[in-house]
């Protein structure tokens, strides 16, 4: 029996896909498939976890695409990666959930409690006070509507910028919190997939 990428017995029928991994039948469903992209969701022995391929460049399409054998093998490797990840989570659940909690804390700290976040909040208060003062002058007749619009326009723009979500290097935070899992199946899956699956496990444990 020929073994490819650590799986055997690849069977694809329509959207269904099945492989054998270490004597265990692993089943899934191909949820997306075109020339440039392919995505797979595992259905057994785990469920609810999906993973997608990177997009083949237009130049790469001259060599291969995901509609034929290359796509079959890519779907199998995606399913294998999902299975290996889910099995790894089963064996390291507590430490992975601790890493998730650390990730959420660091994300929240940067957004709401860091010196930069505090400075942003103070600037919002200052801009709001200026806006209120200008509206008060308009109502009191100290300025006309033209002057009101001229003065309020840059402040409204500043407030809009201050209320936007700050740019956060989520990849850097993930690497910092999950660095002890380097070179494990955690690193074979997209960050978004890892976080979503761990978050679902964390919520399932809540009373």
Of 32-36, 62-66, 105-109, 128-132, the one with minimum mean pLDDT is 62-66
Are the beta carbons of 184 and 170 closer than 8 angstroms? no
Would you give the DSSP letter of residue 7? B
Output the pLDDT for position 89.
96
Joined together, the tokens standing for residue 110 give 């940067």
Joined together, the tokens standing for residue 16 give 């269904």
**Contact partners, residue 114, CB within 8 Å, separation at least 6:** none
Virtual torsion, Cα 9, 13, 16, 18, nearest 10 deg: -10
Quick: pLDDT tens for 146-181. 888 888 888 888 888 877 777 789 999 999 999 999
Are the beta carbons of 42 and 52 closer than 8 angstroms? no
pLDDT band, residue 185 (cuts 50/70/90) = very high
Virtual torsion, Cα 181, 186, 190, 191, nearest 10 deg: -50
Quick: pLDDT tens for 60-95. 555 577 888 888 898 999 999 999 999 999 999 999
Query: Average pLDDT for residues 92-121, to the nearest whole number?
Result: 89
Specify the 3-state DSSP secondary structure of 26.
Answer: strand
List Cα–Cα distances, 86 to 89, 92, 104, 120, 189, in angstroms.
5, 10, 21, 40, 10
Q: How many CB atoms lie within 10 A of CB 168?
A: 12
The sheet carrying 16-21 orders its strands as 8-13, 16-21, 24-33, 38-44, 49-52
Instruction: Report phi then psi at 24, rounded to 5.
Output: -110, 135
Is the omega angle on the peptide bond into residue 92 within 30 degrees of 0, that is, cis? no
Q: What b-and-e string marks burial along 121-153, b requiring 16 or more CB atoms within 10 Å of the CB?
A: eeeeeebeebbeebeeebeeeebeeeebeebbe
pLDDT band, residue 57 (cuts 50/70/90) = low
């Amino acid at each position: 029996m020929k073994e490819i990428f650590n799986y055997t017995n690849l069977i694809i029928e329509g959207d269904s896909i099945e492989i054998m991994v270490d004597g265990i039948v692993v089943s899934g469903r191909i949820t997306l498939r075109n020339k440039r992209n392919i995505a797979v969701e595992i259905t057994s022995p785990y469920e609810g976890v999906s993973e997608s391929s990177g997009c083949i460049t237009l130049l790469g399409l001259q060599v291969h695409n995901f509609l034929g054998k290359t796509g079959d093998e890519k779907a199998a490797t995606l399913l294998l990666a999902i299975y290996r990840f889910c099995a790894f989570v089963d064996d390291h659940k507590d430490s992975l959930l601790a890493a998730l909690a650390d990730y959420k804390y660091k994300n929240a700290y940067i957004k709401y409690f860091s010196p930069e976040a505090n400075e942003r909040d103070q600037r919002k208060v200052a801009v709001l006070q200026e806006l209120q003062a200008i509206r008060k002058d308009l109502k009191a007749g100290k300025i006309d509507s033209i002057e009101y619009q001229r003065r309020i326009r840059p402040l409204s723009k500043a407030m809009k910028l201050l209320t936007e979500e700050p740019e956060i290097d989520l990849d850097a935070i993930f690497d910092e919190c999950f660095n002890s899992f380097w070179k494990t199946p955690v690193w074979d899956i997209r960050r978004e997939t890892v976080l979503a699956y761990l978050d679902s496990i964390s919520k399932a444990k809540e009373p």
